[in-house]
A and B are shown apart, each in its own frame.
Chain A
Amino acid sequence: MSIIQIKNLAKSYRVYQKKEGLREAFRGLFRREYKTVEAVKNVNLTVERGEFVAFLGPNGAGKTTTLKLLSGVIYPTSGVATVMGFTPWERSLEYRRRFALVMGQKNQLWWDLPAQESFRLNQKIYRLETEQFEATLDRLTSLLDVKRLLGRPVRELSLGERMKMELIAALLHDPEVLFLDEPTIGLDVIAQHKIQQFLKQYQEERGITILLTSHYMKDVAALCKRVVVIAEGSVQYDGSLAGIVDVFSKDKIVTLELEEGQSDAGLERFGTIETRNLPKVALRCERNRVSQILTQILNEYTIADVAVEDPPLEEVIAKLYTQVSRDQNTNNEGQS
Chain B
Amino acid sequence: MSPGIQLRLTILKTALAERMAYRGDFALGTLMRFLPLITQIFLWWAIFQSIDASGSGEGSINGYSFRDMVAYYLLTTIGRAFSSMPGLSSYVATRIRDGEIKKFLVQPVDFLSFLFWSRVAHKLAYYTVAILPFALVFFLCRDFFSDLSIAPSSWIIFLLSLPLSFALGFYLETCLGLVGFWMLEVSSLLFVYMLFQFFLSGHMFPLDILPQPWGDIVGYLPIKYLAYFPAAVLLGKVTGTKLLFDFGMLVFWVVFFFGLSRILYACGLRRYSGYGG
Contacts of A167 in B (CB 8 A): none
Which partner residue on chain A sits nearest B114 by CB separation? A125
Q: Of A13, A73, A106, A126, which contacts B105 at CB under 8 A?
A: A73
Q: Of B21, B108, B270, which contacts A125 at CB under 8 A?
A: B108
- What is the CA–CA distance of A89 and B269 in the complex, to the nearest angstrom? 11
Q: A14-B275, A122-B107 are in contact. List 14 more A-B contacts (CB 8 A).
A: A65-B277, A68-B102, A71-B105, A73-B106, A74-B272, A75-B273, A91-B105, A106-B103, A112-B18, A113-B18, A124-B7, A125-B108, A125-B109, A127-B7
| A245 contacts partner chain B, Cβ-Cβ < 8 Å | no
Q: Are A13 and B10 in contact (CB under 8 A)?
A: no
Instruction: Give the distance to chain A from B112, nearest Cβ to Cβ, in Å.
Output: 15
Which partner residue on chain A sits nearest B269 by CB separation? A91
Instruction: Give the distance to chain B from A11, nearest Cβ to Cβ, in Å.
Output: 9
Contacts of A73 in B (CB 8 A): 102, 105-106, 273, 277
Q: Are A74 and B274 in contact (CB under 8 A)?
A: yes
Of residues 29 through 76 on chain A, the ones whose CB sits less than 8 Å from some CB of chain B are 65, 68, 71-75
Interface residues of A (CB under 8 A from B): 13-14, 65, 68, 71-75, 89, 91, 93, 96-97, 99-101, 103, 106, 108, 110, 112-113, 117-118, 120-127, 153
Instruction: Give the distance to chain A from B269, nearest Cβ to Cβ, in Å.
Output: 9
- What is the CA–CA distance of A97 and B109 in the complex, to the nearest angstrom? 10
Instruction: Give the distance to chain A from B225, nearest Cβ to Cβ, in Å.
Output: 32
- What is the CA–CA distance of A74 and B3 in the complex, to the nearest angstrom? 28
Contacts of B18 in A (CB 8 A): 110, 112-113
Chain B: interface secondary structure? helix
| B17 contacts partner chain A, Cβ-Cβ < 8 Å | yes
Q: Are B14 and A110 in contact (CB under 8 A)?
A: yes
Q: Of A65, A106, A123, A127, which contacts B102 at CB under 8 A?
A: A106
Contacts of A110 in B (CB 8 A): 14, 18
- What is the CA–CA distance of A127 and B103 in the complex, to the nearest angstrom? 17
Contacts of A120 in B (CB 8 A): 10, 14
- What is the CA–CA distance of A65 and B277 in the complex, to the nearest angstrom? 8
| B191 contacts partner chain A, Cβ-Cβ < 8 Å | no
| B70 contacts partner chain A, Cβ-Cβ < 8 Å | no
Contacts of A123 in B (CB 8 A): 10
| 7 residue pairs from A and B, CB less than 8 Å apart | A73-B273, A74-B273, A96-B108, A106-B102, A124-B11, A126-B108, A127-B3
Q: Are A153 and B6 in contact (CB under 8 A)?
A: no
| B100 contacts partner chain A, Cβ-Cβ < 8 Å | yes
Instruction: Give the distance to chain A from B204, nearest Cβ to Cβ, in Å.
Output: 34
| B22 contacts partner chain A, Cβ-Cβ < 8 Å | yes
Of residues 1 through 58 on chain B, the ones whose CB sits less than 8 Å from some CB of chain A are 3, 6-7, 9-11, 14, 17-18, 21-22
Q: Are A72 and B106 in contact (CB under 8 A)?
A: yes
Of residues 262 through 277 on chain B, the ones whose CB sits less than 8 Å from some CB of chain A are 270, 272-277
Taken residue by residue from 101 to 137, chain B's Cβ proximity to chain A (1 for < 8 Å, 0 otherwise) reads as: 0110111110000000000000000000000000000
Q: Are B105 and A153 in contact (CB under 8 A)?
A: no
Contacts of A112 in B (CB 8 A): 18, 21-22
Q: Of A93, A100, A113, A121, which contacts B11 at CB under 8 A?
A: A121
Q: Are A106 and B100 in contact (CB under 8 A)?
A: yes
Q: Are A101 and B7 in contact (CB under 8 A)?
A: no
Which partner residue on chain A sits nearest B277 by CB separation? A74
| B99 contacts partner chain A, Cβ-Cβ < 8 Å | yes
Instruction: Give the distance to chain B from A38, nearest Cβ to Cβ, in Å.
Output: 14
Q: Of B9, B18, B107, B274, which is in contact with the most chain A CB atoms at under 10 Å from its CB?
A: B107
Instruction: Give the distance to chain B from A202, nearest Cβ to Cβ, in Å.
Output: 19
Q: Of A108, A117, A124, which contacts B103 at CB under 8 A?
A: A108
- What is the CA–CA distance of A32 and B6 in the complex, to the nearest angstrom? 48
